[in-house]
Structure 1
Amino acid sequence: MMSAMITLSLMIWIHLSLGADLDTWMDVSFRISKLNFIWSKAIHHLTDKAMIKRLKDELNKFDSLYLSAKARSIKNEKLVLEEVDNKLVQLLEKYGLESAVNAYMKKYKWRNEEQEENIVLPSEKFKDSKLQKLWHAAQNSRFSKTALKILHKELKDHEQKMELYEQKVQLFNEFDDNTLIENPFEVSDKLNRELKVHHNDIMDSYDKLHQKVALVSQKIFSNEKVENLWHLALQNPNFTATELESIRIELNHFDKRLEKMKYYDEELNVVKKQQEKLGKLSVFDEDVSSFEEENKRLQRKLRKLENYLETKIVHTEL
């Protein structure tokens, strides 16, 4: 009886001790929301106190790293944040916490989808038929509601440029009819040059808008998953043309790897069918085993690459 009481007391003490530790760890907080989310997953996943403490110290460093990256110039901020993100993923892999990053990305995706549903698109039409045609094409394309709202503003800005240009043309024509102005040739020449610059600016602006809509409308990758990531990148106004080209190359690499994965899946199915025909103990056993190992290896690499690309393209406020 005494032995049972001691055992019970010991179990209660252990339970209370662990509970106290968990409560202590729960009180830990970081300034970056992503790290708070990861920490909440980590304290329920890890059991070794020393490992939890090490992770806490590491995340404290990342807390400062993220804040430092955000405080730098806007031009370099995005690249620096991507570097920190990649280092964070490498750290979490050492602790077996890759799932925490995936969970965070899903949470961000769901939050964005909810916000998308609540967006009300502008109903105002465009006076210019070419702009209205572009807007109609975008509405029937793969633009998200957020991207459509941004595009509508860009089209409206372009329309204002056109109206301003027309006003300048009218002033220029009125000037030609006015013979009382001093140095008419000099003034006329200056106005003419300004009109040309304005006209070229309008043409460039329209070309960019047309290209933007055309790129989202066309399909350039074999895999739907890659195509969706590419369209997300195209609709991100923060990416420069150089950055988009870099992302396109990376997505092309990812697309080819997915095709390779598809090939390995097909080969594995063929070998498995042959194995079933000949029975379990056959010369195909070794082939099946090697194909399965290769498949697992490729799947791991693809998951890492996909997480990296999603983090890079679907970047959230930290």
Structure 2
Amino acid sequence: MAKLNLLWSKAVVRLSEPKLKSLFSELKLHDKLEITYKHEKVGGKDKDGLKEAELRNKLTQIMKNYNLLDQADAVDDPSKYQAHKAMNVASDKYINKSIFRDKKLNKLWEKAEHAGFTAEELDTLKEEFLHHQNKIDQYYSLLHDVKNGPNEDAHENSIDENLDRFNEIDRAEESSKTKDYIDKANLIRDQSKDIKEGFDKLVVLTAKGPSSKDFVEPKVQGLWRIALDSNFTADELESLKVELIHYENRLLKLRHLQADTALNEEKYRIHKKAVGSKPVEESFIKDQIKKHTRKVEKIHLDIESRILERHGGEL
């Protein structure tokens, strides 16, 4: 929107590259929220203006976070919107690909951005991600207190690469452990478990996006979506996903055999007409198709029944 273009034009001459990347990401998300609101307003919603006020407060907070509050009056004045380069022509260097310090969390967020969520849903999901990043920060802060902290590059690594470090605390000599030391060690252990469970929750939330696709085969993707809405634990979902990957591989192999047979159908017909019998190759492939079809159907029914049992419903 024009007012965001104006704000961006002011920011590019004042902020550092890292801050510009962060601001660009926030303004793009806010732009989506503004567009959604515009459609809702045309439809007769937000007659009391509460949604509009909420969006205004969000933008004000963004300006405050980046020391751009002095541009508030200009942003509210439509006469000043013209002659400012649009944000969407900004160089790729401003697209923030590292919103979160934890690289694993950042990679998941990239997936979430392309999962088909609405702007409001994505905004809500981002709050969940930020909350999780705060947990990671608290974990490292506590770890620093107990062990003089991780190295300077710790935040650049995924949390999974560091969670096991607290185990070294238990190997310290008993005589060196104070009550405070032991309490913090136990807290680190609890926080590491909480971080893992929190990340697993974000994985499930991201996978529920309308455009999220973990599997190529629609039948397999359908089973996975039902599983996500069932009462499986994170570990059970992870195990089930591995099963579905193997199932999909078998299904794709079956599709390949069926396609190969269809492509060679004319060749088989000519051979049969010439010699009066089916070619050995045709009989072999069709036997393979029957064999794989039975296996695939059995696997599908097994996985489907286990998913529906936990889902409490039917397909």
Same fold (TM over 0.5): no
TM-score by length of 1: 0.36
Question: Which has more helix, going by share of residues?
Answer: 1
Bigger radius of gyration: 1
TM-score by length of 2: 0.36
